[in-house]
């Protein structure tokens, strides 16, 4: 549509579509100054020995060597991997199954949807504190089940370093699956009724229709959802701060918290920059293939 909508007789390339360009200045500035500029700056300074203030005295890969020797960083990475893997799988599966259930022309659909989506409106701090309370072994779920007779029942994920990250995962899923369900439901509603009819005429079982026909048709929705979930995973910070503050010990540390603590509390900027650069690298490994497919392949878009 670009070709026809602008006056093609204007001589100067730069003045064409001037208003659109002016309107896009905030976007261009954000993209270049903050996203590209800020990121490059941090990467550059991650090779320095900046302590309290950023200084350009390069020390090569020293910060990275120290980073990967730090037990706290290794635990953070491991936690993020576990948390990320399970929250991706669970939110997609649970979200889709719930959406499929909601799509069965059920009654009280609005009520169910409201109930499932409301946690999404709450902050991670609120979510973390509620679940900290529910998972409190002295008052919460564990004590209830024990008082019912199972006196050996143990459910104290937030106080057990081996499983603390799953305690955080429970809260995260409670907060986020509603949104995934909603997105999936919107996707399901966007699919033509005739597809279902055709599948039924051909005698294809329902689950097979979902897996072979509907899910592939919902590619766009899945991508949007993945984008939303994945970018949330890497940034996970508030939830951990509210639920465990990284404890017990350092068992529930995550990279985002490592970065914050080194930058603003331990006054060790170089370490913080190196750690955040590693987060960036992780993200890049995941999204470069996706970005290539989405933007690089010259795919025709709406």
Task: State which of positions 147-206 bind another protein (CB under 8 A).
Answer: 147, 174, 178-179, 182-183, 185-187, 189-190, 200-201, 203
**Within 10 Å of residue 146's Cβ, how many Cβ atoms?**
15
Instruction: State which of residues 58, 68, 133, 150 lies at the interface with another protein (CB under 8 A).
Output: 133
Residue 59 within binding range of another protein, rule CB under 8 A? no
Tell me whether the omega of the peptide bond preceding residue 248 falls within 30 degrees of 0, making it cis. Answer: yes
Q: Which stretch binds another protein (CB under 8 A): 63-71, 85-93, 126-134, 159-167?
A: 126-134
Exposed / middle / buried, residue 181 (Cβ in 10 Å: 0-12, 13-18, 19+):
buried
Exposed / middle / buried, residue 258 (Cβ in 10 Å: 0-12, 13-18, 19+):
buried
- CA distances to 37, 53, 75, 144, 163 from 277, rounded to whole Å, are 14, 18, 17, 44, 28
Residues 6 or more apart in contact with residue 21 via CB below 8 angstroms: none
Residue 227 within binding range of another protein, rule CB under 8 A? yes
Residues 6 or more apart in contact with residue 140 via CB below 8 angstroms: 133, 134
Instruction: State which of residues 9, 52, 285, 302 lies at the interface with another protein (CB under 8 A).
Output: 302
Q: Closest CB to another protein among 104 and 152?
A: 104
Q: Closest CB to another protein among 154 and 231?
A: 231
Q: How far is CA 283 from the centre of its chain?
A: 11
Residue ranges of alpha helices (H) inside 136-268 are: 141-147, 164-189, 193-201, 206-208, 215-217, 219-234, 238-243, 255-260
Q: Which stretch binds another protein (CB under 8 A): 71-79, 107-115, 159-167, 207-215?
A: 107-115
In the 8-state DSSP scheme, what is residue 140? S
Q: Closest CB to another protein among 41 and 85?
A: 41
Q: How far is the CB of 192 from another protein (least distance, A)?
A: 13
Instruction: State which of residues 10, 32, 211, 293 lies at the interface with another protein (CB under 8 A).
Output: 32
Residue 119 within binding range of another protein, rule CB under 8 A? yes
Question: What part of residues 272-301 is at the interface with another protein (CB under 8 A)?
Answer: 272-273, 275-277, 279-280, 283, 286-287, 291, 295, 301
Per-residue tokens: 203: 């005698």
Q: Which stretch binds another protein (CB under 8 A): 57-65, 84-92, 141-149, 152-160?
A: 141-149
Residue 143 within binding range of another protein, rule CB under 8 A? yes
Closest to 46 (Cα-Cα) out of 34, 58, 33, 32: 58
Q: Closest CB to another protein among 37 and 249?
A: 37
75 to 94: interface string for another protein, x by CB under 8 A: --------------------
């Amino acid at each position: 549509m670009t070709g026809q909508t602008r006056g093609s007789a204007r001589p100067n390339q730069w003045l064409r579509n001037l208003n659109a360009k002016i309107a896009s200045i905030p976007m261009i500035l954000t993209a270049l100054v903050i996203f590209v500029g800020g990121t490059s700056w941090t990467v550059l300074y991650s090779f320095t020995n900046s302590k309290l203030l950023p200084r350009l005295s390069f020390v090569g890969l020293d910060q990275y060597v120290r980073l990967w020797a730090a037990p706290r960083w290794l635990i953070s990475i491991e936690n993020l991997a576990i948390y990320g893997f399970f929250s991706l799988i669970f939110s997609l599966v649970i979200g889709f199954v719930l959406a499929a259930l909601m799509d069965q022309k059920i009654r009280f659909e609005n009520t169910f949807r409201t109930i499932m989506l409301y946690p999404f409106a709450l902050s991670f701090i609120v979510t973390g504190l509620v679940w900290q309370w529910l998972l409190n072994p002295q008052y919460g779920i564990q004590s209830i089940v024990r008082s019912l007779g199972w006196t050996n029942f143990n459910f104290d994920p937030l106080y057990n370093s081996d499983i603390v990250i799953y305690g955080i995962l429970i809260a995260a899923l409670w907060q986020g699956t509603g949104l995934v369900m909603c997105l999936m439901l919107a996707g399901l509603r966007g699919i033509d009724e005739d597809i279902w009819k055709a599948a039924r005429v051909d005698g294809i079982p329902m689950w097979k229709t979902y897996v072979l026909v509907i899910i592939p048709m919902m590619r766009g929705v899945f991508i949007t959802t993945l984008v939303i979930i994945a970018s949330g995973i890497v940034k996970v910070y508030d939830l951990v701060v509210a639920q465990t503050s990284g404890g017990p010990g350092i068992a529930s540390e995550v990279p985002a918290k490592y970065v914050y603590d080194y930058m603003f509390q331990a006054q060790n900027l170089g370490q913080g920059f190196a750690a955040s650069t590693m987060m960036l690298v992780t993200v890049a490994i995941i999204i470069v293939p996706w970005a290539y497919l989405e933007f690089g392949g010259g795919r025709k878009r709406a």
